[in-house]
């Protein structure tokens, strides 16, 4: 997904001898996607990354489904989830299907006693509140409000938060997460018409090689089951790496909005894509400038997708009673649009300061049991005049 990058020390040729100062061999690891047929990275470890010394009993962390089928607009107050100290325990799945899990989290503490690896899916972590550093085998990724943290599946990481007040919106993707193809040249460069460019992508930095032996716990999730794997060497013992498969950060504040004389459709806000869903960023922008323009979005039907919007900050002229952290679900099959009075109110407005993340899935989403505890049951009737 990302461009070629390298950090630390690597040999001149891949798959050749690369020796330590004492004459021993570094251990090469190929980290690849789609069965050696797509992007990959080569990492060079002080020790083989395979030395499991102990395992723990596994346990099921699969989402508990409350409603598998429904045709009704829904709304969930995301900031109702209580802050929880542990990062993994704080993750609350809200909407799920076989392609992705949409998760909220409010962790209070850094990951100090373990590392985490999602072996099933790429993770897209949007930082709503808080700041800190993601530590990985590839180096560190400092983050703050508005950052999208992109972690390819299988990435081992620890998150170090600067404080206790953290709010995260997480999308786990079970198909590869990538930049939209229409933004890319045939060689993979982000083109001039794209709403962001290559220099906006922040790769890992400050590679620190931790050459330690001991007992290091990696919690790994596979098919909804969490496994505890103890390794005899520190997972961040990498002296160098290169390739095109690595974690990175892109800030929503670096997304440049595309505007026009009349209202632009949602694809102009697209930020990431997969084979099964897209992610869009709604950012502060000027409204349409046709003399007869109606800035409010027109009523529309999602024939092929469920639409999820996570409201971050700002004033949303098309919606009433929007709160920070609110999630709306507009399922395929029924139309939706501005709340009553919003269309007339929008005429003459020059700009919006809204900030939101949208996820459109191509297959229906299911509602979890945890989501019902967050639901605003009156939302479905909020279009009645």
Q: Per-residue confidence at 18, pLDDT binned at 50, 70, 90? A: very high
Indicate the burial class of 156 (C-beta count within 10 angstroms; 0-12, 13-18, 19 or more): buried
Whether residue 64 is predicted with pLDDT greater than 80 in this model: the reply is yes
Residue 306 labeled ligand binder: yes
Strand partners, 6: 242
**Strand, coil or helix: 14:** coil
pLDDT digits (tens, 9 = 90+) for 244-261: 999 999 999 999 999 889
Enter the tokens of residue 103.
Answer: 């998760």
Strand partners, 313: 355
Superfamily of domain 256-381: Jelly Rolls (2.60.120.10)
Indicate the burial class of 292 (C-beta count within 10 angstroms; 0-12, 13-18, 19 or more): exposed
Closest by CA position to 175, among listed 272, 72, 261:
272
Residues carrying an active site annotation: 263
Note the helical H segments in the chain: 87-90, 342-346, 369-372
Q: Give me the pLDDT at residue 2, please.
A: 63
| Fold agreement between 51-63+82-237+245-251 and 256-381 | yes
- 356-384 residues labelled b (16+ CB within 10 A) or e (exposed): bbbbbbeebbbbbebbeebbbeebeeeee
Share of the chain above pLDDT 70, in %: 98
The count of other CB atoms within 10 Å of the CB of residue 5 is 18
Q: Give me the pLDDT at residue 196, please.
A: 95
Closest by CA position to 217, among listed 125, 111, 92, 142:
111
Cα–Cα distance measured from residue 361 to residue 172, given in angstroms and rounded to the nearest whole number: 12
Q: What is the mean pLDDT of the chain?
A: 93
Cα–Cα distance measured from residue 352 to residue 306, given in angstroms and rounded to the nearest whole number: 24
Whether residue 133 is predicted with pLDDT greater than 80 in this model: the reply is yes
Q: Give me the pLDDT at residue 204, please.
A: 97
Domain residue ranges in the chain: 51-63+82-237+245-251, 256-381
pLDDT digits (tens, 9 = 90+) for 285-315: 988 889 898 888 888 887 889 999 999 998 7
Cα–Cα distance measured from residue 183 to residue 192, given in angstroms and rounded to the nearest whole number: 8
Residue 193 labeled ligand binder: no
- 29's torsion region: left (phi>0), alpha (psi -120 to 50) or beta? beta
Residue 339 labeled ligand binder: no
What's the whole-number mean pLDDT along residues 329-356?
A: 87
As assigned by CATH, the class of the 51-63+82-237+245-251 domain is: mainly beta
**Strand, coil or helix: 181:** helix
Whether residue 28 is predicted with pLDDT greater than 60 in this model: the reply is yes
Strand partners, 213: 233
Enter the tokens of residue 230.
Answer: 């103890």
Secondary structure (H, E, C), 261-281? CCCCCHHHHEEEECCCEEEEE
CB–CB of 367/67 below 8 Å?
Answer: yes
CB–CB of 318/346 below 8 Å?
Answer: yes
Q: How many residues does the chain have?
A: 385
Q: Per-residue confidence at 272, pLDDT binned at 50, 70, 90? A: very high
What's the whole-number mean pLDDT along residues 61-83?
A: 94
Whether residue 183 is predicted with pLDDT greater than 90 in this model: the reply is yes
What's the whole-number mean pLDDT along residues 324-333?
A: 93
DSSP letter string, 321-372: S--TTEEEEE-TTSEE-PPTTHHHHHTT--EE--EEEEEEESS--EEEHHHH
CB–CB of 26/241 below 8 Å?
Answer: no
Long-range contacts of 261-265 (CB under 8 A, 24+ apart): 261/288, 261/289, 261/290, 261/293, 262/288, 262/290, 262/293, 263/288, 263/293, 263/294, 263/295, 263/296, 263/297, 263/298, 264/288
């Amino acid at each position: 997904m990302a461009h070629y990058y390298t950090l630390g020390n690597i040999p001149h040729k891949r798959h050749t001898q690369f020796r330590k100062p004492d004459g021993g061999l570094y251990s090469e690891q190929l980290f690849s996607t789609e069965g050696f047929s797509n992007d990959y990275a080569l990492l060079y470890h002080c020790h083989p990354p395979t030395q499991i010394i102990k395992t723990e009993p596994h346990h099921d962390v699969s989402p508990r489904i409350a409603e598998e089928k429904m045709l009704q607009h829904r709304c969930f107050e995301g900031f109702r989830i209580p802050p929880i100290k542990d990062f993994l325990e704080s993750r609350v799945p809200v909407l799920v299907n076989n392609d992705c899990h949409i998760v909220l989290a409010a962790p209070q503490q850094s990951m100090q006693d373990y590392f985490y690896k999602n072996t099933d899916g790429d993770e897209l972590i949007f930082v709503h509140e808080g700041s800190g550093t993601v530590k990985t085998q590839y180096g560190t990724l400092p983050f703050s409000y508005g950052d999208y943290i992109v972690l390819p599946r299988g990435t081992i990481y620890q998150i170090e938060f600067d404080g206790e007040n953290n709010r995260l919106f997480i999308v786990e993707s079970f198909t590869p997460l990538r930049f939209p193809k229409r933004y890319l040249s045939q060689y993979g460069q982000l083109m001039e018409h794209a709403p962001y460019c290559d220099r906006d992508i922040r790769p890992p930095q400050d590679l620190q090689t931790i050459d330690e032996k001991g007992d290091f716990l990696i919690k790994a999730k596979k098919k909804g089951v969490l496994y505890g794997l103890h390794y005899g060497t520190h997972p961040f013992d990498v002296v160098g790496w290169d390739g095109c498969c690595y974690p990175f950060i892109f800030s929503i504040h670096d997304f440049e909005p595309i505007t026009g004389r009349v209202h632009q459709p949602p694809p102009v806000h697209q930020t990431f894509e997969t084979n099964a869903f897209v992610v869009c960023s709604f950012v502060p922008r000027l409204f349409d400038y046709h003399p007869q323009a109606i800035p409010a979005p027109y009523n529309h039907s999602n024939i092929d997708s469920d639409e999820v919007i996570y409201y971050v900050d700002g004033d949303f002229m098309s919606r009433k009673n929007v709160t920070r952290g609110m999630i709306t679900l507009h399922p395929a099959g029924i139309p939706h649009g501005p709340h009553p009075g919003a269309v007339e109110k929008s005429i003459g407005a020059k700009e919006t300061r809204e900030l939101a993340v949208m996820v459109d899935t191509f297959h229906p989403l299911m509602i979890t049991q945890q989501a019902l505890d967050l639901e605003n049951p009156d939302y479905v009737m909020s279009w009645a005049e």
